Amino acid sequence: MKKEIHPKYYPKAEVTCSCGATFTTGSTMEKIEIEICSACHPFFTGEEKILDTGGRVEKFKKRQAAASGTK
């Protein structure tokens, strides 16, 4: 490996989320600020909502039932 061409590695880089959660990781940046993390993301918190715009799910279910011959 060539010397003096690689950035400094911080094995205990501090990551701070906008929700206030912090954790450490390895990075070439000493401090990292992020907007969303696993502590506040809806997928991980269980608050995920599926939006049914224009009844697409119902439309799909009707087509599927018609194709299989059941209603």
- Lookup result for tokens 């018609």: 66
Task: Give CA–CA dist 26/31, Å, rounded.
Answer: 10
Is 47 known to sit in a ligand binding site? no
Instruction: Count other Cβ atoms within 10 Å, centred on residue 13.
Output: 16
Is 17 known to sit in a ligand binding site? yes
Is 19 known to sit in a ligand binding site? yes
Task: Give CA–CA dist 20/64, Å, rounded.
Answer: 45
Detail the residues annotated as belonging to a binding site: 17, 19, 37, 40
Detail the residues annotated as belonging to a binding site for Zn(2+): 17, 19, 37, 40
